[in-house]
Each structure stands twice: as C-alpha cells, then as structure tokens.
Amino acid sequence: IKKLTKGKIEEDRIEDFLCELGIIAHINHPNAALLIGFGVEGGLHLVLHFSPYGSLASVLH
C-alpha cells in the first residue's frame, strides 16, 4: 500500500519542477522555449520566452 500525503505530493511536485528546470536551463535549440527565469515563492513558476505559435500541444493538434 502506498499512501500519498499532502507533504509527499508537494515533495514530488518540487522534485519534478527542479528536474524540468535543470533540463530547460541546459537546452539551447531554436525550437525550444528559452528559459528566462523561475520562482518558488507562492508556487512553482517557470518564466519562458513567448512563443507566437502557441504551445507544442496546440501546434500538434
């Protein structure tokens, strides 16, 4: 039995956020969004360069 408590879920979200941040920070490709900054106060935030074409999901669908 695996129990997910609020604290555990929060820890997982932070770990996923930091992993994504680490990947995005090292990507330098014209088809990838450029990382401008990030924040953790008041929630987890990534600040990415604006894409006039929308999200990848909207382009693919």
pLDDT tens for each residue of 8-53? 667 777 788 888 889 989 998 887 888 998 887 777 788 888 878 7
Alpha-carbon gap, residue 32 to 49, rounded angstroms = 9
Supply the pTM of this predicted model.
0.63
Domain count, the chain: 1
Q: Residue 1: inside a domain, yes or no?
A: no
33 and 24 in contact (C-beta within 8 Å)? yes
Range scoring the smallest mean pLDDT among 1-5, 30-34, 39-43, 57-61 = 1-5
Domain-located, residue 36: yes
For residue 46, give its domain range. Answer: 6-60
